[in-house]
Structure 1
């Protein structure tokens, strides 16, 4: 199968970072370092490299070995490829050494479209769902042993599925018969037999598959850890751009940026404006795909990019 991946908000993401004050003011002797937290199939990475000077450096992360194999084919000495989660980015760069960070969350089209990866209910394959196939348990292995209450919690929490209890009960009942789902079609059929109503145009298994994928790959935990690491790594004046695809991700990003963009001052303190502490971030933009992009790439429909800039600090 010839599978291609179309990066979402490509031009907007590149512009958000390269228009930042640090990159705009760079000189031939200024060392530049940019991080792409999710290489995917390299669309954002290569577009950013195309806008960065010859003396810049770029680090791209990915947990997926297929993505790493694609990345290693790029012949650009400025690029360093790391097989790891972006949550660990602070292990590869010093505090306040990075001029821009991009996080494109979720999964890539090849991961969805390749049946053997087990991400899609529309293609039959082993129920794997791991981004890093060298580590961790598969979705099928977890469903084989997890308690019913935990299965229900995962599906409800990470899929926002109102039939989570019924789905978990059905999975455990099948398991007790020796028929625990081992393929994507088996799980999708089981869920469809329980979920009788669903939003127009949405497959009954959509939320369950999302929940298991997020849980198996610790996506929300990685996001929370990665955002904290990014804040430490960014230079004052550097930008962070995050593209999310569902409400759970976007809520974490939004709340993180808002929390670091405001200053809590105890009521009644006699502070002059010049004495006020500064927040760590300034929120720059919230961007959604254009109608044209959504028409050309329906998977962009739910995307939201939030951009924040680390404050330059008060003058001495």
Structure 2
């Protein structure tokens, strides 16, 4: 009797699931497009990761290339510039995270306190605009503004009796140029998420705080910041999980022979090894090592955030 009941229950459950699919087929159809996209462009390319463990040859193909195990990883670890590349990547990424991540939060908090809508819209438009400038154009603008002969910055330095500075050629200025340009380009757009989170805070909390005599600073500290804390935590986890993948394009465009000692990071090194020298297996091993570090960082920061604040990605 029990076996018969189980046999009857399974088809019934299947029919019920089929009915739900038919009733909500529009939703399943809608979600099918991103699922297919991720399967084709995100998961299927993982098939090629195995070349990191092979001596890849285009004529032999991925399956036909000989297996070498962890030889490419050992080669990277034993390279003379291994620690320099790791140090440059971690240092630049850490500085960029420490400086560029909190600024959009402060900008969003200040914009949220503005009551003059025209001024608020003007400021928002002004700080959003740089985000839509391409990286190549942005680097070109930096070279124009910082030119030692005709650049606006050096003209101001000369005006005050100083000597022109070769910003693009001095190692000490590579990181400030990179971070300053990132802050200028990305702050406005990044603040949109925090402004959306602030818009979701119950306005009655502010009204009650005003009645109790709370100042704007206290309302920001005790209402706004706790209200957007989950958003901050999630975005911070994502930022740390992507720490080692700092932007390749801008670093490569700002890189010169005079500043390569601080500008050579993992993404630029992978480009030179993989594209310019056609060492595909070696570059794939470096990229896989970089992705593994990001995965470990993501897991550690997510667990720490869940223990401290109770919020996390998973």
**TM class by shorter-chain length?**
under 0.3
The normalised TM-score by structure 2 is 0.26
Normalized per residue, which structure has more helix? 2
Q: Which has the higher contact order (CA 8 A, sep 6+)?
A: 2
The normalised TM-score by structure 1 is 0.26
Normalized per residue, which structure has more strand? 1
